[in-house]
DNA sequence: AGTGAAATTGATAATTATTATCAATAATAC
DNA sequence: GTATTATTGATAATAATTATCAATTTCACT
């Protein structure tokens, strides 16, 4: 097991304990495998990958765990319309949002301090205590624009 | 039938025709009843209201029509997580976004030219042609903050 | 290390929102 | 008015997510 995996496992252990949850080998596996991937991963995809090394893992467990990881703040979730949830790594200290192409479904990631600050201003103006936000910009990506 | 309803009906007729769609009395009823309401309306709510005056109207028709109205650009749709879609009036020339309270579910509407412009800049920087966008800020509203 | 309370797992059923099907009906172009 | 084509309403199907529950595992405490 790699050093970085060990690091993540310790973090996982700590956060689970803090939330009164148990550290299980499934949760460890799910998180480590998830973190070994990049981009936007669905439960199905992760499940298929996991069962190669652990054929007895349950779909529900993968689903529950990703949802849980999101809830306790260690992974990010993005949902577009009624499509199935996608999970992605949580970038420490830099939130990102998405440009989603309605033609090809591609995600472009964007970060903007201006956007973050603007939201803070709008929220405080409304006496609203921000927990999180999700911005999705729908449109046509560079590639698809050039395809005509 | 009121003058304003007649006006909307003409607009509806024009837009439907432009899209090669038919003007039906169900669509007329659904749009007019929808427009008589304010706030964020679910299919279920609208359906229950509609069947009081037209007991034979179908749920699927209401669902399809709202979806269609959104598609052809005459009503707005907002979806929070896996909850059922909510529909709302389309404010002419001013898009709005939402602050959603995670405690009480309340929606606060926000408009911001700054936000609109910022998105345009981000999009053009990425060579992305914006069609639409949805921003949802999750947090705790004024009311719920004071409740403790 | 052993014990017991409590949480988790895996298989699967249930739920929920949404979409598809299709025969009957209605709208529109001619 | 007729033919063509879209829409409707009832209902089935789909798809994503969540609930159920007996068996298993974790973990705090000896
Ligand atoms: Mn992303
Ligand atoms: Mn609104
Ligand atoms: Zn594209
Ligand atoms: Zn609230």
Q: What is the pLDDT of residues A105-123, one digit of tens each?
A: 999 999 999 999 999 999 9
The whole-angstrom separation of Cα A67 and Cα B76 is: 29
User: What pLDDT shows up at residue A93?
Assistant: 84
Q: Is the pLDDT of residue A1 over 90?
A: no
The predicted-structure confidence for B26-79, as pLDDT tens digits, reads as follows 999 999 999 999 999 999 999 999 999 999 999 999 999 999 999 999 999 999
Domains, chain B, ordered by start: 3-89 (1.10.10.10), 97-146 (3.30.1490.190)
Bridge partners of A140, per DSSP, are B129
Share of chain A above pLDDT 90, in %: 90
Q: Is the pLDDT of residue A5 over 80?
A: no
The predicted-structure confidence for A50-101, as pLDDT tens digits, reads as follows 999 999 999 999 999 999 999 999 999 999 999 999 999 998 889 999 999 9
- CB crowding B19-46: b at 16 or more within 10 Å, else e: eeeeeeebbbbbbbbbeeeeebbebebb
Region of B127 please: left (phi>0), alpha (psi -120 to 50) or beta.
left
Task: Verify whether the Cβ–Cβ distance B137 to A115 is below 8 Å.
Answer: no
Of B108, B131, B137, the CB nearest to A138: B131
**Minimal Cα distance from B118: which residue of A?**
A115
CA–C1' nearest nucleotide, residue A63 = D17
Tell me the CA–C1' distance in angstroms for A64 and C1. 33
User: What pLDDT shows up at residue B86?
Assistant: 98
What does the H/E/C string look like for A84-108? CCEEEECCCCCCCEEEEECCCCCEE
User: What pLDDT shows up at residue A3?
Assistant: 54
The whole-angstrom separation of Cα A62 and Cα A50 is: 9
Q: What is the pTM of this model?
A: 0.92
- Judge if the beta carbon of A82 is closer than 7 A to nucleic acid strand D: yes
The predicted-structure confidence for B88-144, as pLDDT tens digits, reads as follows 999 888 999 999 999 999 999 999 999 999 999 999 999 999 999 999 999 999 999
Share of chain B above pLDDT 90, in %: 90
Which of A 12-51 have CB under 7 A of nucleic chain D?
16-17, 22-25, 43
- CB crowding A115-144: b at 16 or more within 10 Å, else e: beeebeebbeebebbbeebbbbbbbbbeeb
- Judge if the beta carbon of A27 is closer than 7 A to nucleic acid strand C: yes
Of B62, B95, B104, B98, whose CA–CA distance to B78 is shortest?
B98
- Judge if the beta carbon of A60 is closer than 7 A to nucleic acid strand C: yes
């Amino acid at each position: 097991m790699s050093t970085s995996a060990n690091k993540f496992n310790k973090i996982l252990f700590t956060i689970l304990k803090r939330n009164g949850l148990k550290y299980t080998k499934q949760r460890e596996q799910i998180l480590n495998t998830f973190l070994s991937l990049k981009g936007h991963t669905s439960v199905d995809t992760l499940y298929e990958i996991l069962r190669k090394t652990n054929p007895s893992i349950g779909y529900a467990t993968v689903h529950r765990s990703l949802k849980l990881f999101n809830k306790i703040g260690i992974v990010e979730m993005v949902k577009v319309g009624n499509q199935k949830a996608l999970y992605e790594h949580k970038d420490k200290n830099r939130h990102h949002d998405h440009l989603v192409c309605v033609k090809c479904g591609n995600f472009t990631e964007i970060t903007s301090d201006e956007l973050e600050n603007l939201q803070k201003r709008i929220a405080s103006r409304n006496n609203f205590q921000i927990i999180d936000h999700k911005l999705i910009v729908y449109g046509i990506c560079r590639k698809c624009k050039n395809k005509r």
